[in-house]
Amino acid sequence: MLLEKYCKDTDLLIIQFTIELTKDIHAKISARTLFYEEQVIRYAEKRIRSFLHPLSLKHTLKFVYQSEILQTILFKLKPTFEQQHVLRCISS
């Protein structure tokens, strides 16, 4: 079974992008290029926006995709954050 059989082109593109961005961020954290959680979030949001911008989707759908991609990436990177001791700002 291949994922391509069950996904539309746009969905498959988004899944592949999410996986690639997660790997990219993991590599940047390991290389200590990104070392604050806020840096990771800003970097991911910027890359996600630039990826979704040229796609011909409604604005609301782009917003939902942006949110879901970010949440997926942050969930996948949780162990990396702990292993690499990524710094986090704590608000009171």
Work out the angle between the directed axes of helices 9-30 and 59-83 (0-180°, nearest 10). 30
- Does any domain span residue 1? no
- Does any domain span residue 39? yes
**C-alpha dihedral, 53 to 57 to 61 to 67, nearest 10°:** -30
- pLDDT tens, residue by residue, 14-36: 999 999 999 999 999 999 998 89
- Does any domain span residue 45? yes
- Does any domain span residue 9? no
Total-model pTM:
0.86
Domain of residue 48 covers 16-75
Provide the pLDDT for residue 61.
93
The count of domains in the chain is 1
State how far the alpha carbon of 67 is from the alpha carbons of 33, 35, 62, 63, 71, in Å: 24, 22, 9, 6, 6
- Does any domain span residue 83? no
Residue 8's pLDDT band, with cuts at 50, 70 and 90, is confident
- pLDDT tens, residue by residue, 56-71: 889 999 999 999 999 9
- Does any domain span residue 28? yes
- Does any domain span residue 87? no
Q: Which residue has the tokens 């939902």?
A: 64
- Does any domain span residue 89? no
Q: How many CB atoms lie within 10 A of CB 60?
A: 8
